[in-house]
Amino acid sequence: MTEGTTAAPMGFGRMHRKEDARFVRGRGTYVDDVRLPGMLHGAILRSPYAHARIVSVDASAAEAHPGVKAVITGETLAGMGLAWMPTLSADVQAVLATDKVRYQGQEVAFVVAEDAYTARDALELIEVEYEPLEPVIDARRALDEGAPVIRDDVEGRTGNHIFDWEAGDREQTDAVFERAEVTVAQDMLYPRVHPAPLETCGAVADFDRVTGKLTVWCPTQAPHAHRTLYALVAGLPEHKIRVISPDIGGGFGGKVGIYPGYVCAIVGSIATGRPVKWMEDRSENLMSTAFARDYHMRGEVAATRDGRILAIRVKVLADHGAFNGTAQPTKFPAGFFGVFTGSYDIEAAHCEVTGVYTNKAPGGVAYACSFRITEAVYLVERMIDVLACELDADPAELRMKNLIRPERFPYTSPTGWEYDSGDYPRALRLALDMAEYDKLRAEQAERRRGGGPLLGVGISFFTEAVGAGPRKHMDILGLGMADGAELRVHPTGKAVLRVSCQSQGQGHETTFAQIVAHELGVSPDDVEVVHGDTDQTPFGLGTYGSRSTPVSGAATAIVARKVRERARLVAAAMLEASPDDLEWSVSETGGRWSVQGSAEHGRSIQEIAMAAHSNLELPEGVEGHLDAVTVYNPPNLTYPFGAYVCVVEVDPGTGQVKVRRFTAVDDCGVRINPMIVEGQIHGGLADGVGMALMQLMAFDEDGNHLGASFMDYLLPTSMECPSWELGETVTPSPHHPIGAKGVGESATVGSPVAVVNAVLDALRPYGVRHADMPLTPANVWSTLQGEPLRTDLAIT
């Protein structure tokens, strides 16, 4: 097998996941499973108002309640300089409110008690006097003259504007629009959604007064970044902080940041000298932790009459909530939205993004969005269908005509992104063939003549940009987005890999062991993967943005190759040969270095490992053992892509949508464990069905959250999901050590718009061109009446 250029998966392919042995037995260890001697329990009092001034907080009755050990308020924290904490976007966020509350569900006070019941009981004894203020709920009104100023904590602030950001060439784009034969425009909302992981957020903080060491267990996707931030914010010495991220029940980007509850648990432990556990409930999770999207977009496309796309122009109003807390590289306030030209070879493009504050929870980058590529793909793929409507063109043909051709790679987009590799027409053709596209169109024509449920076919073609990123361009709060790996090889040749990323279900314990196994010619069972503990792993920025395989996976391959090269030196000493005369081979018996041309003169990797620890006189450059360390700084992002075809049936009498088929062709470069890849795609496709059809996080005019439970915020079930039909093409990344590109978010990025395009395709005979997600039965029916719903506001 030739590394990085093969269509076959890497060695060991579809092996079962090593971590499943514990998960299927119920033996995982999540934060809520951590129970320490003497542990206390915390609970958070939250604001019932979206916007109100805090007149007073009286905690005396709660403090007097039996079993209560401490009540922490904003005032308590202000005394310690901890009432506010920095966000990941260089703003600040209240830990516990001191002056005002700025969204419903915001943290106001923290009770520490002997048990969770007592803590909850005591919350009801805290008296907070609020003076309600007019909230800003509709993002489109946030910049109005006279709109209430949400962030009056910042001196001199007179409005709710956060930032303006642009990409591309405005003049060139405008000029293309001027002379274009055809232009179309469409307003669209990518509504606020929530990743809603099965495991909510929480923490166990244990401050040891004797050693001064703080240990924090919490489900973080970025344990090392958390440790550094705690050190910078709380002034604790970094070597006295240990962050342990145990098994995580789903992250999707919502567990990247630091939440006020974590800080409260830490302060609670410092105050009481005992460990403190805080676990939020479902409503708290949905109301206060990182939401995703909330992009109000206007897209415009300029094209020729025969369907050649010339330019795209976009304006975005981005609702960032009450604090600008999006997790993204510093130089990218709109994330990677700049890839909005998608998979198409376009002459000119320009976008402007304006971020605003509203009285809603902070966040914005979560739910497997690849730093806003989800919004970008939604925009461009919706616009292609709008253009197809305008030109009365077939949306598949229109895409095929405009896709970037394979010979154009590496391709530099008009907004400056360098796509590493791809064969887009091949992937789209495969998806259309698998779905039997022509037959579907024939069936649709038949249905349109004969009545019955409406049939819709939707296509999306997406290009992802993942694996952030080159540290020259990408950092979070000054921390470059590189990741480390350490590989120890024990005398018997068994190995321990330590990585800085942290799995939330991606299967790293298996795939990273497979990478090492492949590189060293050992069994994956002989490689243990350690992650999620800052005392045990090298520094790195963690798992989000589909970056684990592109960055940590690369570090893993490189560190294994370093070990292999050290083994070469040791083998040369063992064989009394020159290292240059040795060749590496992997056979059924494993990896070995042997003298070129005489395979019998060789040593297995296990023999070499033992020799490296023995009394063998070691050659220059080997002090002993084979262990190695590396840090991987990616030279570029990787660009996975895919073509999806969704088939739906719509009941025009009720507005109900049924997804009948979904065909997904993904190209994520070389696959390590195809089963794990497919599992991630299945999950992302289900996410897409959920976002497109049911996930609704609206707010009423008072700022009440209307999706704060799983009765109101619906996640899809197997009943809404068809049997997924997957296909693949393999275009290796030319710059990644094993040619892999990352896949964790591809399906979440690509699928929602395929479903939406399918539903709107079904409604096309009714003159419908667009409606916003989610396409609930009510929204579909209202759209058929010519009145699509405004899905970010309460239905009235």
Partner 1 sequence: MQVPARFEYERANSVPHALALLERHGPESRVIAGGHSLIPMMKLRLARPEVLIDINGLAELSALGVEGDALLVGALVRHAELLADPEVGRYFPIFHDAERVIADPVVRNRGTVGGSLCQADPSEDLSAAFAAVRATALVQGPGGVREVPIRDFHRGPYETAVEPGELLTGLRVPIRPGAGSAYEKVERRAGDWPVAAAGSLLRLGDGVIAEAGIGLTAVGAEHFAAPEAEAYLVGRAPGAAAFAEAGRIAAAHCNPRADQRGPAAYKRHLAGELVRRVLTRAAARAGSPEGEE
Contacts of 166 (CB under 8 A, 6+ apart): 350, 351, 352, 353
What is the rounded CA–CA span in Å between residue 775 and residue 195? Answer: 18
Which listed residue (93, 190, 789, 792) binds partner 1 by CB under 8 A? 789
Give whichever of 284 and 420 is closer to partner 1, judged by the CB atom: 284
Q: Considering the complex, what minimum distance in angstroms separates the CB of residue 271 from partner 1?
A: 21
Q: Beta-carbon neighbour count of residue 408 at 10 Å?
A: 13
Asked if residues 656 and 484 have their Cβ atoms less than 8 Å apart, the reply is no
Which stretch, 112-120, 215-223, 268-276, 302-310, contacts partner 1 (CB under 8 A)? 112-120
796 makes contact with partner 1 (CB under 8 A) = yes
What is the rounded CA–CA span in Å between residue 252 and residue 134? Answer: 33
783 makes contact with partner 1 (CB under 8 A) = no
Compute CA distances 522 → 381, 718, 771, whole Å: 44, 39, 54
698 makes contact with partner 1 (CB under 8 A) = yes
What is the rounded CA–CA span in Å between residue 762 and residue 743? Answer: 30
Give whichever of 232 and 706 is closer to partner 1, judged by the CB atom: 706
Which listed residue (75, 174, 281, 565) binds partner 1 by CB under 8 A? 281
Tokens representing 280? 């939020």
39 makes contact with partner 1 (CB under 8 A) = no
Q: Considering the complex, what minimum distance in angstroms separates the CB of residue 784 from partner 1?
A: 10
781 makes contact with partner 1 (CB under 8 A) = yes
66 makes contact with partner 1 (CB under 8 A) = no
Which stretch, 64-72, 417-425, 511-519, 787-795, contacts partner 1 (CB under 8 A)? 787-795
Cis previous bond, 237, omega within 30: no
Task: Tell which positions 635-694 bind partner 1, by CB under 8 A.
Answer: 653-656, 693-694
- Among residues 725, 678, 759, the alpha carbon closest in space to that of 14 is found at 678
Which listed residue (135, 716, 739, 744) binds partner 1 by CB under 8 A? 716
198 makes contact with partner 1 (CB under 8 A) = no
- Among residues 192, 208, 322, the alpha carbon closest in space to that of 274 is found at 208
Which stretch, 45-53, 286-294, 706-714, 744-752, contacts partner 1 (CB under 8 A)? 706-714
Which stretch, 100-108, 309-317, 610-618, 775-783, contacts partner 1 (CB under 8 A)? 775-783
Q: Considering the complex, what minimum distance in angstroms separates the CB of residue 294 from partner 1?
A: 17
Which listed residue (64, 90, 599, 794) binds partner 1 by CB under 8 A? 794
Site string for partner 1, 419-448 (x = CB under 8 A): ------------------------------
297 makes contact with partner 1 (CB under 8 A) = no
117 makes contact with partner 1 (CB under 8 A) = yes
Instruction: Look at the block and give the residue holding tokens 């002379």.
Output: 179
Evaluate the CA torsion angle 533, 539, 543, 544 in order and state its sign: positive
Asked if residues 445 and 394 have their Cβ atoms less than 8 Å apart, the reply is no
Compute CA distances 542 → 219, 480, 534, 727, whole Å: 12, 11, 11, 29
714 makes contact with partner 1 (CB under 8 A) = yes
- Among residues 489, 511, 491, 487, the alpha carbon closest in space to that of 499 is found at 487
Torsions phi, psi of 299, nearest 5? -105, 145
Tokens representing 591? 């990896």
Give whichever of 116 and 149 is closer to partner 1, judged by the CB atom: 116
707 makes contact with partner 1 (CB under 8 A) = yes
Which listed residue (120, 170, 240, 429) binds partner 1 by CB under 8 A? 120
Q: Considering the complex, what minimum distance in angstroms separates the CB of residue 717 from partner 1?
A: 5
Which stretch, 84-92, 530-538, 668-676, 773-781, contacts partner 1 (CB under 8 A)? 773-781
Evaluate the CA torsion angle 200, 206, 207, 211 in order and state its sign: negative
What is the rounded CA–CA span in Å between residue 349 and residue 311? Answer: 5
Tokens representing 258? 């630091």
Compute CA distances 743 → 422, 723, 726, whole Å: 15, 20, 14
DSSP 678-690: HHHHHHHHHHHHH
Which stretch, 292-300, 478-486, 552-560, 717-725, contacts partner 1 (CB under 8 A)? 717-725
User: By the criterion CB under 8 A, which residues form the site for partner 1?
Assistant: 32, 116-117, 120-121, 279-283, 653-656, 693-694, 696, 698, 706-707, 711-712, 714, 716-717, 719-720, 776-778, 781-782, 785, 789, 794-796
